[in-house]
A and B are shown apart, each in its own frame.
Chain A
């Protein structure tokens, strides 16, 4: 164990030194700590506040109990999935080169891995406790049984930690023993989907009480015993009932679950190397930004086709470039074209059905439906907007290839953004057409607004996002990317305010159509402006090979 301890101590010491002496690493750490402190503050604040009025009626003791049990059940099930994937056995490439060939027993190497597993378990426990504490503080549900035993503060975290630890150890054992875990992974995913459908279906059709009966049934209880015991400990702690029994059994289970892992003589290095190589490829790609990550993931897909893939040339200049992007996206038609349409149809169905609730066309249902369709459409729009950043990262990586081509900057930007724009537009058309077909409330103005305004708005925002991507081009620099988000917000904000201002006359005249027309028309100059700037930035970046400065770009423009 001494060499392992030596290795860990060297790594820890040098990591601390590096983080404290490098602002690029120190600042993200400070931000992370501040976020954690913020969460802690929220937690403390929620503990001192009275319950939200009416919350006890909304979340009864039964609903709360069932909710907690289901959440822990699914998280525990997720841990099993983590073990079946690459997560648990993936070491670092350095470990493969220096640790694995050394005469350190495999069991000792596992000890080296345990702190990382414990951290996973602890982090999940902390997250669960935060969520549980916030909800219980703000709603203060009344449980049927209460007592007067105050459990020590460590009881709940320890119970959750043991629960996570048991599942992680079991998953680790499976990973060590089974080389090809694809079948198990598929079964696990099928179980997860089945479980979600089952829980959702029973809850919607029969209510929380029946769902509670299913969750508390002996089959579920004993099959997921560690999860059942830890949720019991959590709920008993809240209800001031004794928790010692549950924690004791969990501790026993945790120790037992360690035995097969630490006594196994399996040569799991081979599985680990495969996992490490896959994980390492993805991590390295992620350092190069989202586009690089997606390209790596895409390369792992096998395109089963008997014919050679060829792109039939079409168009010239930027059109040819756009066509090439379109053909590349066409290799994964499901992800790039069908999912956006299906997503749009789903949002449209949700909005229309919610608004035309089965309880009748009451106001609350209409508000729910309209808010839902608005939220999901804007949320989808934000998602497609981020694809502009991906396109910008890809363009940066291919700069030396595309740079010498005789294509103007703005045309390159249009060609690069064309395909993600098509995907986004398909989503909006899906939402709009479905909502119109189902004739949800105010279907005509809403469908026209989504079909006309949203794609134009998306085009403008994509160009702005692309521009920011060219200016803050180092995807591996987290600080730079953090600033990029802020700068995007700063630039987008005035234009959003402008959109509101031009909508005012329509609002005053109580004409939706005038507001829609005004906000739609204002997108055209924004599109021209952002594409022009993004084009100039692209040209400048190609010509100089230097980072483009926003202020310098604006001055030249």
Chain B
């Protein structure tokens, strides 16, 4: 389970995330939506312990990322927005390193299956420097799936993937949900979010402005003409014209 409690993150005088609270339960996929600069990536980076929260708490399976970062990270698999593989590591070596970092080298028995599903098995001996953008994305996802994480954080995981890769990744994410894992996905692909996520959280200027299942949001915006998540998103995040 992922719990974000009153999270605030400031950079200098700028507040990127403002008293944000939400929970991603076991066996749940939650979409983190918002326009550019809403604070999605900052939130996810705080969850991954890459940024130190200015205030508030983040609990990963009960481990506070500030007080027990190592324990919290053991439960987490993180896929950044633009993954940069090690140029001098092969695809397989990435998996070996990640498995070793999580102390789960026995999980490497699943490497072939994961790499095959993501069309990377043939490229297992290729160096990171030679991978295309989509392949880099797939490699980062493969690394996330190689260890037994309980919480998955994806920052725009589908960008750069081919249709087959997108479909396979979505299937893998849903399998994780079935296994009882918590999944947080930041994305701009609203149609995908609508179909994949159990709930969505909409951020605007670092603040949570809406949260719930898509039907719940529709109900909330009953008075408007919004019929899809895209319509609702645009209505909720629309900036008033000065």
Cβ B88 vs Cβ A14 within 8 A = yes
Most-contacted residue by chain B among A3, A103, A106 (CB, 10 A): A103
User: Of B48, B66, B78, B89, which is within 8 A of A11 by CB?
Assistant: B89
**A6-B100, A101-B78 given as contacts; is B48 within 8 A of A94 (CB)?**
no
Residues of B69-101 whose CB lies within 8 A of A: 69-71, 73-74, 76, 78, 80, 83-90, 93-94, 96-98, 100-101
> Shortest CB–CB separation between residue B103 and chain A, in angstroms?
8
Chain B residues with CB under 8 Å of A92's CB are 84, 86
Contacts of A6 in B (CB 8 A): 96-97, 100
A11-B86, A103-B102 known; A96 and B97 CB under 8 Å?
no
Query: Shortest distance in angstroms between B162's beta carbon and chain A's nearest beta carbon?
Result: 21
Q: Decide if A18 touches B98 in the complex (CB within 8 Å).
A: no
Q: Interface range on chain A: under 10, 10 to 19, 20 to 34, or 35 or more?
A: 20 to 34
**In this complex, what residue of B is CB-closest to A102?**
B101
- Asked if B224 is at the interface (CB within 8 A of a chain A CB), the reply is no
Quick check: is A71 within 8 A (CB to CB) of the other chain? no
Q: Which residues of A contact B86 (CB under 8 A)?
A: 7, 10-11, 92, 94, 98
From the candidates A105, A180, A269, name the one contacting B70 in the complex (CB within 8 A). Answer: A105
Residue of A nearest to B72 (CB): A103
A101 touches B73 (CB 8 A): yes
Looking at the complex, which of B24-32, B49-57, B196-204 is the stretch in contact with chain A? B49-57
Q: Which residue of chain A lies nearest to B51 when distances are taken between CB atoms in the complex?
A: A270
Residues of B within 8 A of A2 (CB): 100
Please determine whether A10 and B89 come into contact, CB atoms closer than 8 angstroms. Answer: yes
Contact with B along A91-110 (1 / 0, CB 8 A): 01110111111111110000
| Distance between Cα atoms of A103 and B65 in the complex (Å) | 11
**In the complex the two chains form, what is the Cα distance from A45 to B84 in whole Å?**
47
Which residues from chain A contact B80 at a C-beta distance below 8 Å? 96-97
Candidates A14, A15, A103, A267; contact of B73 at CB < 8 Å: A103
For residue A211, CB closer than 8 A to chain B, the reply is no
Chain B positions near chain A (C-beta within 8 angstroms)? 12, 48-52, 66, 69-71, 73-74, 76, 78, 80, 83-90, 93-94, 96-98, 100-103, 127-128, 140, 143
Q: Does A454 contact B (CB under 8 A)?
A: no
Q: How far is the CA of A269 from the CA of B88 in the complex (A)?
A: 23
> Whole-angstrom distance between the alpha carbons of A123 and B89 in the complex?
26
Selected contact of A94 from candidates B12, B70, B128, CB within 8 Å: B128
| In the assembled complex, A273 has its CB within 8 A of some CB on chain B | yes
Provide the residues of chain A in CB contact with B103, threshold 8 Å: 103
Contacts of B66 in A (CB 8 A): 267
**Smallest CB-CB separation from B92: which chain A residue?**
A10
A15 / chain B contacts, CB cutoff of 8 Å: 88
Residues of A within 8 A of B76 (CB): 101
Q: Are A270 and B52 in contact (CB under 8 A)?
A: yes
Residues of A within 8 A of B87 (CB): 94
Q: Which of A97, A100, A102, A270 touches B83 (beta carbons < 8 Å)?
A: A97
Contacts A92-B86, A267-B52, A269-B50 given: A98-B69 contact, CB under 8 Å?
no
Docked-complex contact A98 and B49, CB < 8 angstroms: no
* Minimal beta-carbon separation of A85 from chain B (angstroms): 19
Closest to A13 in B: B88
Q: What residues on B are CB-neighbors of A99 within 8 Å?
A: 101
Of the A-B pairs whose beta carbons lie under 8 Å apart in the complex, a sample of 6, sorted by A's number, is A15-B88, A94-B85, A101-B50, A101-B76, A102-B101, A180-B12
Residues of B within 8 A of A3 (CB): 97, 100-101
Q: How far is the CB of B232 from chain A (nearest CB, A)?
A: 32
Chain B contacts of A103 at CB under 8 A?
69-71, 73-74, 101-103
The residues in A between 245 and 275 inclusive whose CB is less than 8 angstroms from any CB of B are 267, 269-270, 273
Query: What A residues does B143 contact at CB under 8 A?
Result: 98
With both beta carbons as reference points, the residue of chain B lying nearest to A280 in the complex is identified as: B84
- Cα A39 to Cα B69 in complex, Å, equals 48
Neighbouring B residues of A100 by C-beta, 8 Å: 48-50
The interface centre, meaning the residue of A10, A98, A269, A273 with most chain B CB atoms within 10 A of its CB, is: A98
Q: Which of A14, A97, A105 contacts B140 (CB 8 A)?
A: A97
The distance in angstroms between the C-alpha atoms of A6 and B87, with both chains bound, is 15
Q: How far is the CA of A93 from the CA of B80 in the complex (A)?
A: 11
- Interchain CB contact under 8 A, A10 and B52: no
